[in-house]
Structure 1
Amino acid sequence: MRISVPAAALALGSSLALGALVAPTALAVPAATCPTLGVADLYGEFIEGDDTHTPDAEGAVAVGGNAVFSPFTVGSELTAEQIAKLPGGNALVVGGNLTGPVRVIKGNGIYGGTLTGIAEAHAGKIVHGPSPIDFAAEFAKLRAVSAELAKAGGGEVKPDGAKLTLTGTDTKLNSFVVSAELLQKAGDVYLKVPSGAVTVVTVTGDAYDQTKGRTTGFHLWDAKTNAYVHDDKNSSAEGGRIREKLLWNLPTATKVVKESGNAWPGSVLAPNAAFDLGSGGPVNGSVIAKSLTGKGGAETHHYPFTGCLPATTVVESTPPSVPTTPSPNGTPSGTPSTSGRPSPSGTPTPSGSGSPSAPAPGTPVPSPSAPGGGLAFTGASGLLPLTVGGVLVLGAGVGIAVAVRRRGARRA
């Protein structure tokens, strides 16, 4: 069958136009995101109020209130990539007064109040200036996330005298809900979940005190050896893959006490709690709390939470409201913000989260900076250029068809 030249041209023009209009729809499929705890994920200690602690934190430390360190070292285990993600490269952020001696091994430091004692950075600088973190806004979101996580459950919780076993089989997310009363009776806690799965253990109640049951051991299942491994810094199941995706969630606790005789694996989200690390034994993960105290060998080891949380719990960090780059004389440039700044008593004055660009507390929002992705492009920002291109190609196709028809008419 012979196809006329005008018909072929029209078909070509229509095909080009159709392809241009269909392409945006195919490309508009978003990439997978990884909901996280926002800027809190970057810090080994993320504290809304005061932090009184010795001898060290292997990761970064952010304190909204006053920090009393005597002595203290910060950031010894941070990588260059992790430092680059910190606001202003600050491995130490103190919104209020800073009492040393404190040494920042890797990264910079910044404090908003007065400095007492020595504060030095081995590979950076420590300056006076406004906090690059809006602690009030971040903790409003973290409390909403903590409450949302508490709604999940389903994992098996099996008490047996002084032994408590938590068992989950989901390869992506295992969620447990256990009362503080039950958990603090356990001398040993056993956790068995698939390697690589995210685990959330929600602890209900107003307080959780490990000293009541003298919790001395946390044991994580290692599928490779087909046995439980007693967690410690240099000994952990699956090479640490279990604890790096383990989050202890205490949404309503106002007090958390760690038993000094154990290494507590995983990160702890206790946004309303005064957290007592005791005088020995580390947390092998991050601590997010209202306030923190610890002494002796009660350290926080640098094993940040790397799990992707359920999509409804995503946190987007509130950007700093002022520049954080100090001027040559050490005074920060820009107009000072009340975010994280000390009041006359040394306690930071919360700025809240009511800025026009900030979402209301508890509103789940996507985190474009979350590890593991973000959207390929969002909404009209990606669709508009392709749509305009489609219109131009459509016009070109129609023009070809019209020109060919006219040429055929003249020949006739």
Structure 2
Amino acid sequence: MSQRERGTRRVVRSVAAATATLAAAGGTLLACAFAAPGAGDGRPVAGPGPCVPGRCPAAYPDPHGGAVVGRDNGVNVFVGGDFAVRGAAAGAEGRVVVEGEFDLAKGSGSPPAYHVGAVGVGSRVPPDNGSPFLRVGGDLKLAAGQRLLAEDGPVNGTVAFAGRQTGTGTVSPKAVRDTGALAAFDGLREELTAASTCYAYDKGVPRKPTGTAVNQGKVTVFTGDGTSAFQVFNAPFDLVAPDGSAQSLSFRKIPANATVLVNVTDENGEARTINTSAVALAGVRRERLLWNIPDAKVVRIAGGGQLQGSVLVGRRSSTTRLSVAAVNGRVFTAGSLAHESGTGGAGGQTIHAYPFVGVLPECGTGPTPDGGHTDTGEPVPFPTGVLPPGFPGLEGLEGLEGLMGRPGAAGPDDAAPAEGRELPREGPPMRASMAVGATLMAVGAALALAVLFRTRSGPGSGPGRRT
């Protein structure tokens, strides 16, 4: 069996399993979709989202070291792989979720503490006291002398981990082993890949931009059309100065309250770098700015400036090396994350908790392969847009994000259903879920046959389909 055929069979199994799961759980998923945002019965959504009560502030202040101004129980950092802390990185504000292992080993010469949930200078909008500030699906690894702090002054939470705790480092106030720590996040990693790919590519080609992105050397300028409520920029290049050093990032002609999507793409699926000294928003709200990096295997976000806006990295086999002074927004990656200070750089790197409230395209593709790649880098066909004549298409289906709540919708990860609340047993929502479940099963079967058909007919076109 060829490598391409093995990859295709993996796609078929993935699509079939996802379809069967959705069909079986359709009632529950659709009930969550019909619920009001933040109602308490939803699960995390595929991508950075808004503040989840808590006590959300009316407006988020710029980073400061003053009093706590509110509470946000939304996930601020999601890592589908492993999370390593190195160098002199200082902390990640807000709720942090790691599917793999969390490894704190900052090394000699660096302050030994790393904060989760609350940091000394940030938005000062942490999660509720007593809740898990950090959830780890794998091992919690703490090197000798290292301190993992889920507290800052009057703010304090816990650390929950499903694997083992290794090393002689310490956790304060406490760590709790919980084999179900990541139960609510099943499938989210795959959804992130699907969403990131969809935001960057529309039916296999780069999404149509509304403006231009031009690297002018010391600055990359994003010039919008001045009118659209959804501004799209495609940047198939590194955001760096000619010598690789930091540059400023500047936005122009962006309407008030517009959602701004910047797709930083790499058709070779290798590496992309954002090295910034400053971001001139010029009216752009950080809460409506998303940096989407769908296909690079190595992502570097560096520089002495503060990167405004949220970050989404879509490739599951990716590693993001984050050494920028601060990110003022959500950081969601389907891959692994290394929070570090960079070679010879100053310390104190932080991720600050700011929500994402932009309105993004609806994506009905469901889970996709790893940005079109297998773990070895061998491209495999996408299960979308490959149906042979006579098979039903995906048109008219909301797809996975329609069921879960589209990216940008609220969904707490810890809250339980309200007292006495039950999922609907009959009526239009349940009938709709049964219909969607049946349709998904049919589409799953069609996709499986379609991918096999495509394999025998030859590769198609689109991101990741390189030979």
TM-score greater than 0.5 by the shorter chain: yes
2: CA distance, partners of 1:160 / 1:259:
19
- CA shift in 2, pair 1:39/1:303, >3 Å: same
Residue segments in structure 1 that go unaligned for 5+ positions in a row:
1-29, 223-240, 317-359, 385-412
- Kindly report which structure 2 residues correspond to 1:12-411, keeping only aligned pairs within 5 A, or say none: 37-38=45-46, 41=49, 42-53=74-85, 54-70=89-105, 71-76=113-118, 79=125, 82-83=127-128, 89-100=131-142, 101-105=147-151, 106-116=156-166, 117-120=168-171, 122=173, 126-133=176-183, 137-151=187-201, 152=207, 153-168=209-224, 169-170=226-227, 172-181=229-238, 185=242, 187-192=247-252, 193-205=254-266, 206=269, 207-211=271-275, 215-222=276-283, 242-272=285-315, 273-278=318-323, 281-289=325-333, 290-295=335-340, 296-312=347-363, 363-367=400-404, 370-371=409-410, 380-381=427-428
Alpha-carbon deviations, 1:334-361, whole Å to 9, x = none? xxxxxxxxxxxxxxxxxxxxxxxxxx99
Q: Considering only aligned residues, what root-mean-square deviation do their CA atoms show, in Å?
A: 3.8
The more displaced of 176-185 and 194-203 is 176-185
- CA shift in 2, pair 1:314/1:38, >3 Å: farther
Q: Secondary structure at the match of 1:365?
A: helix
2: CA distance, partners of 1:65 / 1:361:
30
Q: Counterpart amino acid of 2:161?
A: Y
2: CA distance, partners of 1:89 / 1:314:
34
Q: How many residues align?
A: 281
2: CA distance, partners of 1:265 / 1:298:
14
1: CA distance, partners of 2:306 / 2:398:
33
Q: Secondary structure at the match of 2:195?
A: helix
Larger radius of gyration: 1
2: CA distance, partners of 1:74 / 1:274:
20
Partner of 1:226: none
TM (norm. structure 1) is: 0.58
Q: Of Structure 1 and Structure 2, which has the larger fraction of its residues in helix?
A: 1
Q: Secondary structure at the match of 1:244?
A: helix
2: CA distance, partners of 1:184 / 1:258:
14
Please list every run of at least 4 consecutive aligned residues from structure 1 whose deviation after the TM superposition is greater than 6 angstroms: 30-34, 313-316
Q: Percent identity?
A: 27
2: CA distance, partners of 1:313 / 1:189:
32
Contact 1:246 1:266 in 2 (8 A): yes
2: CA distance, partners of 1:79 / 1:112:
26
Partner of 1:350: none
Q: Secondary structure at the match of 1:208?
A: strand
2: CA distance, partners of 1:281 / 1:94:
25
Q: Counterpart amino acid of 2:291?
A: W
Contact 1:49 1:63 in 2 (8 A): yes
Contact 1:48 1:135 in 2 (8 A): no
- CA shift in 2, pair 1:154/1:33, >3 Å: farther
Q: Counterpart amino acid of 1:380?
A: G
Contact 2:46 2:191 in 1 (8 A): no
Deviation (angstroms), 1:292: 1.0
TM (norm. structure 2) is: 0.52
1: CA distance, partners of 2:350 / 2:47:
21
Q: Secondary structure at the match of 1:258?
A: strand
Q: Counterpart amino acid of 1:189?
A: L
- CA shift in 2, pair 1:253/1:133, >3 Å: farther
Deviation (angstroms), 1:174: 0.9
Q: Counterpart amino acid of 2:212?
A: E
